[in-house]
Amino acid sequence: MKTVITYGTFDLFHVGHIRLLNRLSELGDRLVVGISSDEFNELKGKKSFFSYEERAEIVSACRYVDEVFPEHNWEQKLSDIRQYNAKIFAMGDDWEGKFDFLSDYCEVVYLPRTEDVSTTKIKKTLSKLKKNELEKIESSLHDVIEIVKTMSHD
Active site residue 46: yes
Amino acid at 91: M
Which of 2, 44, 128, 130 is the catalytic position? 44
* 129 burial via Cβ count (<10 Å: 0-12, 13-18, 19+): exposed
User: How many residues are there in the chain?
Assistant: 154
The answer to whether 87 and 3 have CB atoms below 8 angstroms apart is yes
**Rounded to a whole number, what is the largest CA-CA distance in the chain?**
84
Alpha-carbon distance 47 to 32, whole Å? 23
Centre a 10 Å sphere on the Cβ of residue 25 and count the other Cβ atoms it contains.
Answer: 19
Rounded to whole angstroms, the Cα distance separating 8 from 113 reads: 13
Q: Is 44 a catalytic residue?
A: yes
Residues recognised as catalytic: 44, 46
